[in-house]
Structure 1
């Protein structure tokens, strides 16, 4: 019954799409092209497995990203350096079982090595109290509200300071140890491209 969190695999994208679009109005819908875009470019795209079955996923980007979300832009207009959680989705049958906390703990372990704070939003439509309580118990606090253009959905904009970041920066600077759990995800955009002729 353990929860395993790891990078998403390409063959899982259809399952991620189905899980996202079954999550209800608290999560914006995706299409296959958008999921592929995240797979190719998102700094953080991880899945949670329980009993070898997809139980949830999380997608995140750094403040230097070209991410086109209006919520992301809201944070970037006000803060210089942060890690943004674009979405977290947990399968309905797995909610309340620790999957969301496992994903957030994993994301924090990644982010605190690179950013001083984490940002996310909770839509204030319907029964949003459980989501606000969950994020509040994880250290997030509301710093404002934003209405998404076009969609008209109001969101509570949340941030959480990452207290270990200053120590990591002072100790390691830009030279983090080459350990598997520290390495950044290799997105398509970041992967080296082979040039020149192939040696024989």
Structure 2
């Protein structure tokens, strides 16, 4: 009954697409081409397994990326250095079982060593209270709202990475070579200009 968070594998993209598009109105649907772009460009793209089965996924982009999301641009126009969570999806049968918390703990551990803030949004619509409560309990706070093209409002959330300054002052560009701080698959060959060499 354990949850394992690990890098997504290319052959899992069809399953990730199905998971995303079955998530309901709180998650924007995507097509296979867009998911492939995420696979090729996301700084952080990891899945959660529960007893060997795909139970969730989280994708995130650094503030210096060329990500084309309107909500990402909203953050970039107002903030400097952050990691933006584009989406987190948990399989309906696994909601409330700790999958979302496992993914958020993992992405926070990744961000803490690299970014001063973690950003995301929650669409304000019927049934959004559990998502807002989840994010609030994880330390996110609202910094504004963004009106979507369909008229829906998004609650724009940020969380400061409390240990970021200490990590940067202590380790600079030379983070320790330990598994939990290692770069995800997408960064092992990609260039990240702000000192994150491992």
Shorter-chain TM band? over 0.9
Residues in 1 aligned to 2:187 and 2:168: alpha-carbon distance in whole angstroms: 27
Shift of 1:8: 0.2
Q: What TM-score do you get using the length of structure 2 for normalisation?
A: 0.93
8 Å CA contact retained: 1:40, 1:188: no
Shift of 1:151: 2.9
Tell me, yes or no, if structure 1 residue 77 matches structure 2 residue 77: yes
**Range 86-95 or range 169-178, more displaced:** 169-178
| Runs of 4 or more consecutive aligned structure 1 residues displaced over 3 Å after TM superposition | 188-192
Residues in 2 aligned to 1:186 and 1:97: alpha-carbon distance in whole angstroms: 26
1:77 aligns to what SS in structure 2? Answer: helix
What corresponds to 2:142 in structure 1?
142
Change in 2 beyond 3 A, CA 1:182/1:25: same
Structure 2 residue runs without a partner (length 5+): 192-198
8 Å CA contact retained: 1:41, 1:189: no
RMSD: 1.4
Structure 1 residue runs without a partner (length 5+): 193-200
8 Å CA contact retained: 2:43, 2:184: yes
What corresponds to 1:92 in structure 2?
92
What corresponds to 2:55 in structure 1?
55
Residues in 2 aligned to 1:84 and 1:191: alpha-carbon distance in whole angstroms: 17
1:102-160 deviation line (CA, Å, top 9, x unaligned): 00000000000000110000000111111000000000000100012x33321000000
Shift of 1:179: 2.3
Change in 2 beyond 3 A, CA 1:125/1:9: same
What corresponds to 2:160 in structure 1?
161
What corresponds to 1:118 in structure 2?
118
What corresponds to 1:173 in structure 2?
172
Q: What TM-score do you get using the length of structure 1 for normalisation?
A: 0.92
Change in 2 beyond 3 A, CA 1:142/1:13: same
1:163-191 deviation line (CA, Å, top 9, x unaligned): 01000000011111222322212328935
What corresponds to 2:182 in structure 1?
183
8 Å CA contact retained: 2:42, 2:61: yes
The size of the alignment, in residue pairs, is: 191
